Amino acid sequence: MKKVSLQVIAQKAEVSMTTASMVLNGKGDKHKINKTTQDKVLRIAKELNYRPNASARNLSRGKTMTIGIIVPNIADSYYSSIAFHLEQELAHSEYHLLLGSSLEDQAKEEELINAFLARQVDALLVATTQQNLELLEKVNNSGIPVVLFDRHHPNSQLPYIIVDNYAGIKKLVDHLYQSGHKAIGYIGLDLDLHAIHERQRAYRENYMDRFNMQTNYMRAIEYDNYAESCQQAVSELLTLGVKAIIFETHYLTLHGIKQLVELGVNYPDTVSIASFGDHEVFSIFSPHITAIDQPVDRIAKECLKVIFERMTNRENETTSKIKLEPELIIRNS
């Protein structure tokens, strides 16, 4: 169907384009346009199925009504859930999301930031690689609010919303140890991210240091080959006599379970498993998987709360540093 222009509406209603625009934007009464003229313009617009040019309208008021969001991988259920909740929160507003995946790559993240700036986004939400701090601060200082989530720069003043990673791993260690496990393994990622460092620090301090463990049960595997490396790490830990394994992310947990199944190892009879990060299948598997749940709905709400506060009150903005408490969901794994 051919798009109908404002000019066509004005010609058929026998009014100027300015008058037609005022009526269609709900400003007819404000500009004292008589009721008969307003009704005529609206009737013709409805008959012709007129749709206003939202981009032009938004740009005229200095906004595009878009928020850019950059995540490591939208295929990751954790990040797709956050994006879903962001969309749900924005459903009754004029704002929309532009979404991109950095794939944990600094250059890709920089490319996305610049692409979103070219699209004139009103704000940026970033689960950062932590490699583009200077660029992100430059964007924020230019007047486009930047809010970090899930990951942050500890030495930066950029606002952030994160989960308490240290507390989450500590809860898993305490639960497994109190359940009678003395040999607790840990499989994580060799990524230079503060969130990852905090999870691994929690394991070292609350298990290895606390109980003066002489055997190294921690495995930090390469992200680029995490599926195969995770399965290999599981096999190594089993040969060391490990009776419980903490997985640093939900997707590592899935690959760990796959390896246990392929080896014919029963859990939790032979080895217990626990995951930082829940997944919908963890409550379907038999046995169900004990996990740390990250509150994706609250993360989304807090992100938008901070974003809108910064967009509407740039002069008196404060740096928001929000750390949410994760929940331990004890199941029978």
Q: 285 or 145, which is more confident?
A: 145
Average pLDDT over residues 289-311: 94
Is the peptide bond prior to 154 cis by the omega test (within 30 degrees of 0)?
no
Which of 213-222, 291-300, 312-321 comes out lowest in average pLDDT?
Answer: 312-321
CATH number of 6-52: 1.10.260.40
pLDDT of 322 reads 95
Domain edges within the chain: 6-52, 64-162+297-323, 165-293
Q: Per-residue pLDDT tens for 62-110?
A: 678 899 999 999 999 999 999 999 999 998 888 899 999 999 999 999 9
Cis peptide preceding 295, ω within 30 of 0: no
pLDDT for the residue 318: 62
Determine how many CB atoms are found less than 10 A away from the CB of residue 204.
14
Q: How far apart are CA 79 and CA 70, in angstroms?
A: 10
Q: What is the mean pLDDT of residues 285-298?
A: 92
State the average pLDDT for the chain: 90
Q: How far apart are CA 159 and CA 152, in angstroms?
A: 8
**Contacts with 78 (C-beta within 8 Å, 6 or more apart), sequence order:** 250, 277, 294, 296
Q: Report the share of the chain in percent with pLDDT over 90.
A: 69
The mean pLDDT of 27-31, rounded to a whole number, is 82
- The arithmetic mean of pLDDT across residues 296-307, rounded, is 95
Instruction: Give the residue-averaged pLDDT of 140-164.
Output: 93
> pLDDT band at residue 5, thresholds of 50, 70 and 90?
confident
User: Helices (DSSP H) in the chain: which residue ranges?
Assistant: 6-13, 17-24, 35-47, 54-60, 77-90, 106-118, 133-141, 165-178, 194-203, 226-239, 250-263, 296-312
CA distances from 24 to 1, 18, 55, 253 (A): 21, 10, 15, 55
Task: Return the pLDDT at 264.
Answer: 94
Which pTM value belongs to this model?
A: 0.81
Fold agreement between 64-162+297-323 and 165-293: yes
- List pLDDT tens digits, range 187-207: 999 999 999 999 999 999 999
Q: What is the pLDDT of residue 52?
A: 67
Cα 237 to Cα 70, 212, 231, 232, 256: the distances in Å are 35, 18, 10, 9, 11
Closest CA to 304 of 128, 57, 133, 69: 69
User: Is the Cβ–Cβ distance between 309 and 317 less than 8 Å?
Assistant: yes
CATH of 64-162+297-323, one of 3.40.50.2300, 3.40.50.10090, 3.20.20.70, 1.10.510.10: 3.40.50.2300
Query: Is the per-residue pLDDT at 1 higher than 70?
Result: no
% pLDDT > 70, the chain: 94
* Res. 45: pLDDT tops 90: no
Q: Quick check: 2 pLDDT over 70?
A: no
Provide the pLDDT confidence category of residue 240 given band limits of 50, 70 and 90: very high
pLDDT at 304: 94
CATH of the structural domain 165-293, one choice from 3.20.20.70, 3.40.50.2000, 1.25.40.10, 3.40.50.2300: 3.40.50.2300
Return the pLDDT at 169. Answer: 98
User: Is the predicted pLDDT of residue 160 greater than 80, yes or no?
Assistant: yes
What residue type is 221 in one-letter code? I
